[in-house]
């Protein structure tokens, strides 16, 4: 045994058996802690390597966010087992018999369980959330009016950060429903008012269609080429035109602004007059 070997070496140097015994116990405790840190570090490195490889893959059947979520949960479970083993070995080194502790764990669990029902509810709900693939790290969701990106998922909590940088931690057991904005592509809508006499056939011209196609081709986040939907509303002196396209989830807003600029420049080029605003 390593502890006996250390004790023998200390005896040769110091000679005092009690001091040598205490030193050997101290060194063994430090050894187990360092071993736990080493294995946790190695597991973390492996997780990072798998995550980076998963992000670089071009296989569409692999969902990077889903894989990242599962990897983090598995790594957390492995690290819990590592430190549980380290704790057991330290207790054994200190001469504490762990069998009575394990035997009494059932009684303790029964007593604590009555006051920790919410904890178990969170764990069970967290396990179902992960298993159901209803949300993953990186998804944009809304729970009870709070909208943001999921930055972490544990068996107890979900961590959501909004665009202001505010972090909200929600217990899994309290989640009854939520909106996941990342499950499907988002629809971008650009509406424009023009005067009645405007010849809207110009928006079906090859020149305009090429502008829309170039807009789509410039960025992979734009899923579909914008289309002219026609007149959607008539007012006293104007017609409201609508253009729509699909973009990756939660990416449509910035592309709506870009498309609006392209359409306005096109209208100015062909002297399309916009109705005057009445204040």
Structure tokens at 49: 């390597």
Instruction: Please measure the distance between the N-terminal and C-terminal CA atoms of the chain and give it in whole angstroms.
Output: 89
pLDDT computed for residue 279 by the predictor: 41
Structure tokens at 274: 């916009």
Structure tokens at 125: 């709900």
Structure tokens at 232: 């959607």
Distance from C-alpha of 247 to C-alpha of 184, rounded to nearest angstrom = 9
pLDDT computed for residue 86 by the predictor: 86
Residue with tokens 């008012």: 193
pLDDT computed for residue 219 by the predictor: 87
Closest CA to 186 of 143, 153, 217, 140: 140
Residue with tokens 């060194």: 27
pLDDT computed for residue 208 by the predictor: 94
For 43-74, give the DSSP string. Answer: HHHHHHHHHHHHHH---TTS-HHHHHHHHHHH
pLDDT computed for residue 53 by the predictor: 65
Distance from C-alpha of 170 to C-alpha of 176, rounded to nearest angstrom = 11
Q: What is the pLDDT of residues 37-70, one digit of tens each?
A: 888 888 878 777 776 665 555 444 445 666 666 7
What the chain holds in terms of domains, given with CATH numbers, is 2-96 (no CATH), 120-180 (2.30.30.60), 186-269 (3.30.70.100)
* Spans in the chain with pLDDT lower than 50: 58-62, 278-279
Closest CA to 228 of 252, 257, 178, 192: 192
């Amino acid at each position: 045994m390593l502890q006996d070997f250390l004790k023998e070496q200390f005896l040769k140097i110091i000679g005092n058996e009690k001091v040598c015994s205490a030193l050997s116990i101290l060194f063994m405790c430090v050894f187990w802690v360092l071993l736990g840190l080493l294995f946790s570090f190695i597991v973390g490195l492996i997780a990072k390597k798998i995550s980076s490889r998963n992000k670089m893959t071009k296989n569409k059947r692999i969902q990077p966010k889903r894989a990242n979520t599962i990897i983090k949960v598995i790594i957390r479970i492995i690290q819990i087992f590592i430190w549980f083993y380290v704790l057991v070995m330290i207790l054994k080194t200190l001469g504490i018999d762990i069998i009575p502790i394990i035997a009494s764990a059932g009684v303790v669990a029964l007593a604590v369980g009555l006051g920790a029902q919410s904890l178990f509810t969170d764990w069970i709900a967290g396990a179902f959330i992960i298993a159901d693939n209803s949300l993953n790290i990186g998804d944009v969701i809304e729970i009870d009016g709070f909208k943001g990106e999921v930055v972490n998922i544990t068996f107890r909590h979900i961590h959501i950060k909004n665009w202001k940088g505010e972090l909200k931690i929600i217990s899994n057991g309290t989640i009854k429903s939520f909106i996941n904005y990342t499950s499907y592509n988002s629809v971008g809508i650009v509406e424009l008012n023009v005067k009645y006499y405007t010849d809207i056939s110009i928006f079906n011209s090859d020149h305009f269609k090429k502008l829309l196609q170039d807009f789509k081709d410039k960025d992979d986040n734009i899923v579909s080429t914008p289309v002219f939907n026609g007149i959607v509303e008539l007012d006293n002196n104007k017609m409201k035109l609508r253009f729509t396209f699909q973009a990756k989830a939660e990416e449509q807003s910035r592309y709506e602004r870009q498309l609006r600029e392209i359409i306005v420049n096109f209208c100015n080029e062909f002297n399309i007059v916009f109705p005057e605003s009445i204040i």
